[in-house]
Amino acid sequence: MKLTDVQKHLNAKYLCLDGSDPEISCCMAADMMSDVLAYAEAGALLITGLISSQSVRTADVSDAAAVIYIRGKRPDEKTIKLAEDLNLPLLTTDECMFDACGVLYKAGLKGVC
């Protein structure tokens, strides 16, 4: 699935676009960044409610393809700028974590485990 498909499925808005439409290989849904760092796979979509700069750092360090924030959350401008510098796409959806995961699972994406 492409990131643009994720955007459509979750009716998401882009906060940061780096000009690419990466392939999403799997999903990680977590607010605990240590879990993401421990179990991440390259090309994963990070679904999180954590909007601190650590969400962007963690996604970058673990080679995530993109980050999507749930419940309409958006990080501050400094964090968005950091994602731009790291060429990491950021999106936000109004869906809650459970529903966002459910929609993407139904659309064919699987979790990292």
Partner 1 sequence: MGEDTLYQKTFTITGSDFDKAGEVSTQIKAILKAAGLDSTVIRRVASASFEAEMNVVIHADRGKIDFELTPTAIVLTIDDEGPGIEDLELAMKEGYSTASDDMREMGFGAGMGLPNIKKSSDDFHLESEVGKGTTLRITIKHDEQ
Site residues (CB under 8 A) for partner 1? Answer: 31-35, 37-38, 40, 42, 48, 50, 52-55, 57-58, 60-63, 78, 86
Nearer to partner 1, 11 or 52 (CB): 52
Contacts 24+ apart (CB under 8 A), 80-88: 80/15, 80/16, 82/53, 82/56, 82/57, 83/15, 83/16, 83/56, 84/16, 84/18, 86/56, 86/60, 87/18, 87/20, 88/16, 88/18, 88/56, 88/59, 88/60, 88/64
Q: Closest separation between CB of residue 50 and partner 1, Å? A: 5
Q: Closest separation between CB of residue 20 and partner 1, Å? A: 17
Q: Closest separation between CB of residue 87 and partner 1, Å? A: 12
